[in-house]
Structure 1
């Protein structure tokens, strides 16, 4: 098994441009995440086709490879290949957008501490559940000890975030811990808790430097801002201090600058910022609960796909710290994750494809636990309708949860069946856990029923597509039909909607058009290259079974005279299905004022009874069946 993970890791690293192209690498529950120096080196289509990879995508400027449950095993093999965090020469990095940089930073500092958060949060959830059902009293020594274990991670949150933020920012972890230690020092904590009479602290006898008394226990934003300040101050001090005495004095001077500023300005600013964000979401769920719940639960899979759910983790922690509960992240993710599981289980029951059934069962179980990527990418999105059913049912139940005020009382890590205890009210009231169980059942059941009743386009054993809500049609005999694969990934456009009348009126033959989302054309069949225009924008292929196919990249792109096109084959070359034929720059084509829509035409249409597109609209993937030729 280790060999399998090593081979997978090697293929991934090779196709992201090698270890030298990696600035930082880490993983979350299901994905390998990379910050790259040059994203143009990524062979995303090749990565998607690797056995063991569920999908790959750019989220902002972060590249994500979706692995599933075995991601930690794969990452163990990836890490030595990228040299820890990578090491390309200076100046090779690419500038990130502001939003991408923020999202990347947040996910980078919270992902490493998820095991601690999950373990401690789930323990607190079970304690609340045991109190609710009467198995444990919240006044005994056992409860006190177990609660201390579960609460410690959250109480000392600044220490955990100090380490992960320092690693993400590539600054000294122990100085970052010193910042957290100062924030949590008993002098300040005792004053904040009212154990002393101090109301503020004056520094250097300057009345205007008045450090307010605040508790930084369980806080998130202040320590993150403090470590950001530490990074820049420490780097500056090290440049100024002579190297001979740098070891002794750089750290001391850095702390003397960073800590007063943090206690005086940054800490209070971060506290107010965190409290403000929590207040906004509290107001939203209080005054527009059904709308907020429907949007949050219904769109959660799309939020997860982009990795933006990490932006809500600090808010969830802050809400737990301020109000003792979280109504934003975990309740809606709970409903959404189970919705994906319910759809996958529905597919498992409805499909006639044995391989798909096995995949759907496995993915459904994973989603029930809280890992949704196998269900989303491997089953529901692939079949389209089950994904829509999951989104719709989650939105409906999210609206109810927002109206009712469904809350989590601890942070539970993977949000699924094992996180049920975090919805138990620590006060012992039973209503909260009863509602959680009801929502658990309904979140699974509603999309499951929708899939069974409304059906979907099934994938039988032979790979063709038929409706799962009707009897399979009798296939035409194989010697009377042929299939053409899609030569690129994109969105299907009916030929009649193309702006060039030659294609729209089917003068050259029947076919289909595709608005590309990638920059390459692959062979849709095996055969021979009969025509390759000097401008590289048009390829004529003679298939092994007599098919004559024209692939025309863009409209009026002959005017570019081959600029932004690169051919990988020549006339009379033998080709195999899936082989790369031409690469092109669709953005450059559009910048030239031209359309990049690509036509796939059967130029010997007269030799067939009909040429039938498999679909008239929607997304199409490279290698997916595109046209059927009926003789």
Structure 2
């Protein structure tokens, strides 16, 4: 059995098996799942699999971070899901939030076509670079042929999106291609380009149905909306057409309904919506470029961690289609990715841990290419300070890029060293590529120097038995880590911001707080219930590896004497990670005049080198990694 197949089988087993997989795909670094029942996921077991860098829920999408080999692992996973009957259930459990559903949909539509966009975009970038350095002219036959190859995927983008959207919403791909083909038909394209005198089209001699003349070449939103309409119309038609003639008449009736509506209403609406979104982002960077660059450049790692960068892809494509440039997505990702690389290289030089040095060097190379998750999850976030240095550096350089007007002239896929050509101006102007090279160097060097000069708390090697004195207690550093999952869903709150000084001053120990958005507490680790007062407002757990976790629901809620709380376990019970522990009524607690912010504290903090929150702000999901404790 190959290593990739073994990894795929283990991941599939711990997500609940193929029958629990509603849909599976992958992006550049992550396996992505829509699951029928997310409660069947053993997230802690998945994180312990050799070859897995991390795992998390992003909304209702479950992500397993693999890194560079994700395509190989997915190639082994896909037949396992299909052969065992996964993905057949059209009903997912639970209700997805609007934002979560939109993010999941966009990533599912664009991820499959990224290789085509990346290859074609990079070719166009190299052509622009060759013109800039004088190796080629933009008037020769060679340029014309190669430009046609690079431009084809963008010009005929509605065809690619028709297929990926149809697959995502589970409708007939070939019917979706008919929709795209109609939108791209020469009758309409020629009219839009002024090659004919036609200014509009009237359908069925009905004067109020006036189809405007538009070119849908390179468009994004119109075809996606049209395929969504196709799905529901086609499903509805099949229900009323007798099965004996459905093969012919269901598609026919679907076309007669969907395509007029598409050309008359949805296409123009989607086109205007796309142009509007593009105009907003272009205006934002034109008017407040430094501020926009500072925020987006600095926060890009957090955007990538949640997968939200996929939401920007259609806007970036629309920008390139409308104005010929991308002013925000690729420029900011370019700076941010390289900053993560530079920070990781700094760790590789400064750390005395041989294993960490090797990991930092290899993940730094990956981040420089454009794959940042190994560096972010495996090195920089784990040490915390390098991650902060990288974000600060990319924020400052992002502000400069926004002020200067740094932009990409094509969509280049992985944004890193090999995407430098997409920042070359096709007109041959040298300034753009010079700034790209300058930002490349600074994005690597600044966080690298910050890590070397300001340092970080290193992780001792496992065989280093040197005693470390912390809080007047002698502990032995091993470098081993233990993940603590989030016991509830909500908004992260730093302990220092709490009104209760006992928690704010970390007297009880290090940890983090969460303002809950749901009414239940699950086990963040496996172990034994050690403390559960009659008021049921708090619970203490001792984990299998000696970690002691206190979950305290609300501040001063002991005064409620158990009202609005219900425990499902008792002292001495054995619990498993993810098991339901307590439910509570947060609205009733608030009405009673108490805060519901919930503290998750490692009460034996002195037994560890450090207790590190994965994040100190933002949304956290139930079962997502919350803390890392380092022994």
Q: Matched residue of 1:202: which SS? A: strand
How is 1:547-626 mapped onto 2 (pairs within 5 angstroms)?
Answer: 553-554=551-552, 556=558, 559=562, 563-566=566-569, 580=576, 583-585=579-581, 588=584, 593=589, 597=599, 614-615=609-610, 618=613, 624-625=629-630
What stretches of structure 1 of length at least 5 have no aligned partner?
466-471, 574-578, 603-609, 627-631
* Counterpart in the other structure of 2:305: 305
Q: Residues of 1 paired with 2:285 and 2:328: CA distance? A: 8
Q: Within 5 Å, which residues of 2 pair with 1:456-475? A: 456-462=456-462
Matched with 2:523 is 520
Task: Write the mapping of 1:319-358 to structure 2, written as runs, cut at 5 A.
Answer: 319-358=319-358
1:348 and 1:625 map into 2 onto residues whose CA distance is 19
CA distance in 2, matches of 1:22, 1:581: 21
2:529–2:570 Cα contact (<8 Å) kept: no
Q: Deviations over 1:208-266 (max 9, x none)?
A: 11111111111111111111111111111111110010001110111111111111111
**Is the Cα–Cα contact under 8 Å of residues 590 and 596 in structure 1 kept in the other structure?**
no
The SS at the match of 2:209 is strand
Question: What TM-score results when the alignment is normalised by the length of structure 1?
Answer: 0.85
Aligned partners of 1:238, 1:250: CA distance in 2, in Å? 6
Q: Distance in 2 between matches of 1:611 and 1:258?
A: 66
Q: Which runs of 5+ in 2 are unaligned?
A: 487-491, 515-520, 590-595, 615-624
Count of residues in correspondence between the two structures = 593
Are the aligned partners of 1:564 and 1:589 in contact in 2 as well (CA < 8 Å)?
Answer: no
Computed over aligned residues only, the root mean square deviation of the Cα atoms, in angstroms, reads 3.7
Task: Provide the C-alpha distance between the structure 2 equivalents of 1:434 and 1:422, rounded to a whole number of angstroms.
Answer: 12
* C-alpha distance in 2 between matches for 1:364 and 1:173: 40
Q: Give secondary structure in 1 for the equivalent of 2:49.
A: coil
Question: Equivalent residue for 2:203?
Answer: 203
Q: Does 1:438 align with 2:438?
A: yes
Who wins on radius of gyration, i.e. which is larger?
A: 1
Change in Cα spacing, 1:499 to 1:413, as seen in structure 2 (3 Å) is: closer
1:41 maps to 40
Kept in 2: contact 1:335–1:439 (CA 8 A) = yes
Equivalent residue number for residue 6 of structure 1: 5
Task: Report the counterpart of residue 629 of structure 1 in structure 2.
Answer: none
Deviations 1:386-442 (A, max 9, x none): 001010110111111111111111110000000011011000111110110000000
SS at match of 1:219: coil
TM-score (norm. length: structure 2): 0.85
Q: Deviations over 1:23-50 (max 9, x none)?
A: 1110000000011111122222221222
Any idea what SS the aligned residue of 1:51 has?
coil
- In structure 1, the residue matched to 2:126 is 126
CA contact under 8 A between 2:180 and 2:223: conserved in structure 1?
A: yes
Superposed CA offset, 1:515-568 (max 9, x none): 5778325478xxxx8968798976797999xx9x97655375994899544479
User: For residue 68 of structure 1, what is the aligned residue in structure 2?
Assistant: 67
Inter-CA distance 347–617: structure 2 relative to 1 (3 Å threshold) = closer
Shift of 1:580: 4.6
Contact 1:487 1:523 in 2 (8 A): no
Deviation at 1:60, TM superposition (A): 1.2
Correspondences of 1:435-514 after superposition (within 5 Å): 435-462=435-462, 481=475, 488-489=484-485, 512=509, 514=511
Distance 1:11 1:58 in 2: 18
Indicate whether 1:378 and 2:378 are aligned.
yes
Contact 2:159 2:177 in 1 (8 A): yes
Counterpart CA distance in 2 for 1:268 and 1:103 is 23
Alignment-derived partner of residue 144 in structure 2: 144
- Match of residue 54 from structure 1: 53
